[in-house]
Amino acid sequence: MAAEPTVREANKSYLTPRGRALQWITKIHKAIYEGTGGIVGHTVFQRAEKGTGFFLRPMSVLLLTTTGRKSGIARTVPLPYFEYDGRILVVGSFAGGERHPDWYFNLQANPEVGVRIGRKSARARAIPLQGDERERYWTRLTNDWPRYRGYQGGTSRTIPLVEIVR
């Protein structure tokens, strides 16, 4: 089996913002998504990973609203989502960082979430996948989107894969 690419290797073909740049991009993306009723922001185009045969690839984005585990305040973030076998999955990659994203900690404390996909909003439950089920979907996801394999290779934590059940 080939070695996992490092985050640096995985990121050579596209920009992975971090820190304040990521905060601003997230804030702007969320505002556009909400401001247009989900018409703009639901699909973003990403520079494709080397070897996929694409220059740009569409990536679907949802808005996930969790309840702050400490504050109790609703927190909304735009996240790429992936559909496999009729299931909606989001990834807690945090761009390969050493800690889980805040939204993941929030849904662990309270798995009842809000989700907006395009123009449709619903209440949902966020369920982290475990064991063989996680591995099966992780393999499919990373075959389709190799950057996540690179993120996993750059961190000691297991990146969460979460199903959004409406």
CATH number of the domain enclosing 84: 2.30.110.10
Total domains present in the chain: 1
Query: Considering the domain boundaries, does residue 127 fall inside one?
Result: yes
pLDDT of residue 7: 46
Cα–chain center distance at 152: 13
Query: Considering the domain boundaries, does residue 1 fall inside one?
Result: no
Query: Considering the domain boundaries, does residue 2 fall inside one?
Result: no
Percent of the chain with pLDDT over 70: 86
Read off the pLDDT band of 54 (50, 70, 90).
low
Statement: residue 2 has pLDDT above 50: no
Question: How large is the average pLDDT for residues 121-140?
Answer: 98
